[in-house]
Amino acid sequence: MFNFFSELKKIVKKEKFIDRYNIVNMSGKILYVEGHTGLCQLSKELITFKFKGGVIIVEGKDMVMSELSETTLKIVGEIKRVEAL
Amino acid sequence: MKKKNYHLFEIKGVNQERFFNNLVKRYKIFELDRKDKTHCSFKVNYRDAKKVRAEILNAGLTIEKERSKSLLYFLTKFLTCYGILSAIVICSCFYFIQFSRIERIEVWGDYDSELIKEFVEQNLQNKNKNRVDCQKIENLINNEFDDLSFVSVAIVGQTMVVNVKSSIVPPEMQGEFAPIISPSDGIVREINLIQGTLKVDVGDIIQKGQILVEGYVINSEGESMDLQPRAEIVLDVWAEGESVHFDQQLVTSRTGNKTVRTSVTLFGHEFYSNNAQVQFDQYEEEQTSKPLIKNNLLPFILTKTTYYETQTQLVVSSFAEHEQEMISQARENCLQNLAEYEIIKDENYRIIEAAGTTTVKYVITASLRVVG
């Protein structure tokens, strides 16, 4: 089966930072994240989590952490902004 | 995707992010909803609920509410809260399922029960009680076994009871009849014939095994008709016993001295002995053997041989001194030859003297009743 992330990684394999995290934003309603290393802040309007070498801030409205495992998470709600610092 | 089997926790406390970061290392979290800074709710797999509860309490958080949704939870809850009720329901279901079946077949009566049981099992196509036709089984047994006079089949609880009775053949139809035979030698004193043909008369001397009454009669037309001989015949019988007295006799007795020799053998080979030497001129020996150790690996046998010293003396005694004793002994010997049911009518003895010996012969005359 076609793997979108694997194909992308093959194209830009020279870049070292490529394995840090992956984020998929689906129409601003669902946000899927791979490669997080822990939650920093959690609320309905703001969710912050760490990745290898930085922090990702997700801002929105009525956000719920639909799934949370050691490296992946899925946020459901109205996602307004995703920012990596 | 909605989680079907889950356990919901609503917790209260601070620093929840750190708690969740630790928790997700071991358990997966769903529907994590932060209501405010100190309150949040989340779901975990039902099977992890117990461990997650312990983690929450260890982290110093407070559980405000819990709720489960799973089949296993439902069953556990039902059994816990409605224990007796659920037991009754489960038992009732089990009872109704199994009660409608025949579990055992019992055969009562004086016939070969295994044979009938096997036949019924072969012909019992369905073990459902409602579908078993007892009348049909009765007819099948009746047709199969000709020597049965009565068959009844009934279902009692889960047991099929087959009651049978074998046909009774009257004695006249059973064939030849055994005659009444004399159990011992004697003289016929009294006869009371009920049926049969008498072969002896009062005063006849008869031998053991002689026929007294035959199992037939000759009717008025001269035909022989078999029947069971019945009669009561009284016989006079004799029993004899004797005792012998010796005027001089050599009597061997133990002196009390003894020597014990002990040896241990393995597979018949002796490898230990106390080498006790027997110093006696005359002796008797007794030997006992027993296993030295209780195992089958090395069957050591301990053998103990005891040598008793003996001496022989010449004992001289006259018959007159022991007459009554010898007569009593002869009577005892005579009584041993007499059957228990015989009635003693007369008894006498005679003394026969020979060179160095005196013999007492005792005779008892008894009455014996032969009933057939």
B34 with A44: Cβ contact below 8 A: yes
With contacts defined as CB-CB under 8 Å, which chain A residues touch B30? 66-68
Which of chain B's residues have a Cβ under 8 Å away from the Cβ of A41? 17
Domains B6-77 and B104-166 fall in the same CATH topology: no
Helix (H) or strand (E) holding B230: strand B230-246
Listed by start position, the domains of chain B span 6-77, 104-166, 176-226, 242-246+317-371, 249-315
Place of tokens 């439902």: B74
- What's the structural domain count of chain A? 1
Mutation for testing the A interface, residue in B1, B19, B31, B52 having most A CBs under 10 Å? B31
Q: What is the pLDDT along chain B (372 residues), one digit of tens a residue?
A: 456 788 899 999 888 888 999 999 999 999 998 888 889 999 998 888 889 999 999 988 999 988 888 787 778 877 788 877 878 888 888 887 777 888 888 888 888 888 888 888 888 877 888 888 888 888 888 888 888 888 888 888 888 888 988 877 665 555 668 888 888 888 998 999 888 888 999 899 999 889 999 888 888 888 888 888 889 999 888 888 899 988 888 889 999 999 999 999 888 888 788 888 888 889 999 999 988 877 667 788 899 999 999 999 888 888 888 889 999 999 998 888 877 667 888 889 999 988 888 999 999 888 888 887
| Chain B residue with minimum CA distance to A62 | B33
What whole-number distance in Å separates Cα of residue B55 and Cα of residue B100? 52
Q: Does B40 touch chain A (CB under 8 A)?
A: yes
A10 lies in some domain: no
For A78, the domain range is 20-84
Instruction: Tell me the two tokens of residue A5.
Output: 């992330």
Look at residue A66 and tell me if it is in a domain.
yes
CATH topology of domain B104-166: Ubiquitin-like (UB roll) (3.10.20)
| Total Cβ atoms within 10 A of residue B160 | 24
Dihedral angle, C-alpha B131, B137, B140, B144, nearest 10 °: 140
Interface test with B, best of A45, A67, A72 (most B CBs within 10 A): A67
A5 in any annotated domain: no
Q: Which of A40, A41, A64 sits opposite B32 (nearest CB)?
A: A64
Q: What would the two tokens of residue B46 be?
A: 């039902």
Q: What is the pTM of this model?
A: 0.39
Q: Is B28 on the interface with A (CB under 8 A)?
A: yes
Prediction ipTM score? 0.82
The pLDDT value recorded for residue B171 is 58
**Is A62 within the bounds of a domain?**
yes
Whether the CB of A43 is below 8 Å from some CB of chain B: the reply is: yes
Topology, domain B6-77: Alpha-Beta Plaits (3.30.70)
Q: Which residues of B284-314 are buried (b: 16+ CB within 10 A; e: fewer)?
A: eeeeeeeebeeeeeeeebebebbbbbeeeee
